Amino acid sequence: MAADARLRTVDEQLEIVLAGLGSIDPIELTLLDAQGLLLAENVSTEVPLPGFDNSAMDGYAVRAVDTRDATPEHPVVLPVVGDVAAGATSRSGMGPGLTMRIMTGAPIPAGADGVIPLEDTDRGVAKVAIRRPVQSGECVRRAGEDLPAGAPALGAGAALGPQQLALLAAIGRDRVIVRPRPRVLVISTGSELIDVGHKPSFGEVTDSNSYLVTAAARDAGADARRIGIVPDDHSKLLDALESQLLRADVLVTTGGVSMGAFDIVKQALSELGTVEFTRIAMQPGKPQGFGHLGDRVPIFCLPGNPVSALVSFEAFVRPAIRKLLGKRNLQRATVQAVALERVDSPAGIRQYRRGVLHREATGGYSVSLVGGAGSHLIASMASSNCLVVIDEEVTEVVAGSRVTVIPLLLANR
Amino acid sequence: MAADARLRTVDEQLEIVLAGLGSIDPIELTLLDAQGLLLAENVSTEVPLPGFDNSAMDGYAVRAVDTRDATPEHPVVLPVVGDVAAGATSRSGMGPGLTMRIMTGAPIPAGADGVIPLEDTDRGVAKVAIRRPVQSGECVRRAGEDLPAGAPALGAGAALGPQQLALLAAIGRDRVIVRPRPRVLVISTGSELIDVGHKPSFGEVTDSNSYLVTAAARDAGADARRIGIVPDDHSKLLDALESQLLRADVLVTTGGVSMGAFDIVKQALSELGTVEFTRIAMQPGKPQGFGHLGDRVPIFCLPGNPVSALVSFEAFVRPAIRKLLGKRNLQRATVQAVALERVDSPAGIRQYRRGVLHREATGGYSVSLVGGAGSHLIASMASSNCLVVIDEEVTEVVAGSRVTVIPLLLANR
**How much is the ipTM here?**
0.93
Residues B378, B398: Cα–Cα separation, whole Å: 26
Contacts of B201 (CB under 8 A, 6+ apart): A89
Residues 6+ away with beta carbon under 8 Å from A149: A45, A46, A47, A48
* C-alpha pair distances (Å), B153 with each of A203, A375, A379, B54, B168: 21, 18, 7, 21, 8
Q: What is the mean pLDDT of residues A306-332?
A: 96
pLDDT at A259: 54
A:B CB pairs within 8 Å = 346
Q: For residues A91-103, b (16+ Cβ closer than 10 Å) or e, as one string?
A: ebebeeebbbbbb
Residue B67 backbone phi and psi in degrees, to 5: -105, 5
| Whether residue A105 sits in one domain with residue A123 | yes
A262 within some domain: yes
Q: Is residue B105 part of a domain?
A: yes
pLDDT reading at A3 higher than 70: no
Spatial neighbors of B192 by CB under 8 A, at least 6 apart, are: A85, A86, A87, A88, A105, A106, B203, B204, B205
- Give the strand pairing for A114-117 and A99-102: unpaired
The reply to whether residue A378 touches residue B410, judged by beta carbons under 8 angstroms, is no
Identify which has the larger pLDDT, A160 or B264.
A160
Last residue in a domain, options B283, B301, B325: B325
Give yes or no for a contact between B343 and B396, defined as CB atoms under 8 angstroms apart.
yes
Q: Are residues A123 and A233 in the same domain?
A: no
- CATH number of the domain residue A348 falls in: 2.40.340.10
| Residue B72 forms contact with A (CB below 8 Å) | no
Same domain for A185 and A171: no
The pLDDT of residue B89: 74
Q: Does one domain contain both A339 and A255? A: no
Does residue A165 share a domain with residue A76?
no
For residues B23 and B119, the answer to whether their CB atoms sit within 8 Å is no
Domain stops at, among B94, B112, B141: B141
Q: Yes or no: say if B200 and A47 are a contact pair by the CB < 8 Å rule.
A: yes
Q: Are residues A412 and B408, on separate chains, in Cβ contact within 8 Å?
A: no
Helix, strand, coil percent values for chain A (each to nearest 5): 20, 35, 45
Confidence (pLDDT) at B257: 56
pLDDT at residue number A411: 66
Residue A151 has pLDDT above 50, yes or no: yes
Would you give the end-to-end CA distance of chain A in angstroms? 42
Could you tell me if residue B5 is inside a domain?
Answer: no
DSSP state of A313: I
- Judge whether A162 lies within some domain: yes
Q: Do you find a cis peptide bond into A284, omega within 30 degrees of 0?
A: yes
Counting runs of H as helices and runs of E as strands, what totals does chain A give? 8, 28
pLDDT 10s digits, A72-115: 999 999 999 999 877 777 888 999 999 999 988 889 999 999 99
Contact assessment for residue B49 and residue B171, using Cβ atoms and an 8 Å cutoff:
yes
Task: Tell if the CB–CB gap between A190 and B87 is shorter than 8 Å.
Answer: yes
Residue A1's pLDDT band (boundaries 50, 70, 90)? very low
Within a domain: A146: no
* Spatial separation of the C-alpha atoms in residues A289 and A276, rounded to whole Å: 5
B115 with B158, same domain: the answer is no
Residue B244, pLDDT score: 87
Q: Which helix (H) or strand (E) holds B361?
A: none
- Structural domain of B360: 335-407
Give me the helices (H) in B245-277, please: 265-270
Identify the pLDDT of residue A5.
Answer: 62
Does B320 share its domain with B263?
yes
What's the rounded Cα separation, in Å, for the pair B151 and B21?
35
What distance in Å separates the CA atoms of residue B93 and residue B106, rounded to the nearest whole number? 13
Mean pLDDT to the nearest integer, A40-52: 97
> Within the 1-20 window of chain B, which residues sit less than 8 Å (CB to CB) from chain A?
3
Mean pLDDT value across residues A288-315: 93
- Give A 211-230 residues with CB within 8 A of chain B: 211-216, 218-221, 226
Residue A268: give its domain's CATH number.
3.40.980.10
> How far is Cα B211 from Cα B207, in angstroms, rounded to an integer?
8
- Got the DSSP string for A148-171? -TT-EEE-TT-B--HHHHHHHHHT
Greater model confidence, A1 or B410: B410
pLDDT at A167: 98
pLDDT for A189-242, tens place per residue?
988 899 999 999 999 999 999 999 999 999 999 999 999 999 888 888 889 888
Over residues A6-33, the mean pLDDT reads 96
* B171 within some domain: yes
Residue A306 lies in a domain: yes
Number of structural domains, chain A?
4
B289 and B231 within one domain = yes
Residue B68 within any structural domain of the chain: yes
Per-residue pLDDT tens, chain B, 413 aa: give them: 334 468 999 999 999 999 999 999 999 999 999 999 999 999 999 999 999 999 998 899 999 999 999 999 999 999 999 998 777 778 889 999 999 999 888 899 999 999 999 999 999 999 999 999 999 999 999 999 999 999 999 999 999 999 999 999 999 999 999 999 999 999 999 888 999 999 999 999 999 999 999 999 999 999 999 999 998 888 888 898 888 888 899 999 998 755 554 467 777 888 888 999 899 999 998 888 999 998 789 999 999 899 999 999 999 999 999 999 999 999 998 999 999 999 999 999 999 999 999 988 887 899 999 987 677 889 999 999 999 999 999 999 999 999 999 999 876 54
Q: What is the CATH number of the domain that holds A165?
A: 3.90.105.10
What pLDDT was estimated at residue B5?
Answer: 62
**Tally of CA atoms within 13 A in the half-sphere of A116 that contains its CB:** 32
Same domain, A189 and A306: yes
Judgement on whether residues B172 and B61 belong to the same structural domain of the protein:
no
First vs last C-alpha separation in chain B? 42
% of chain A residues with pLDDT over 70: 96
Same-domain check for residues B245 and B320: yes
Among B255, B290, B325, the domain boundary falls at B325
Order the strands of the A287-293 sheet from edge to edge.
A223-230, A183-189, A250-254, A297-302, A287-293, A273-279
Based on the fold, state whether residues B259 and B193 are members of the same structural domain. Answer: yes
Locate all alpha helices (DSSP H) within A75-233, ordered by sequence.
162-170, 209-219
Contacts of B258 in chain A (CB under 8 A): 58, 103-104
Interface membership of A272 toward B (CB under 8 Å): no
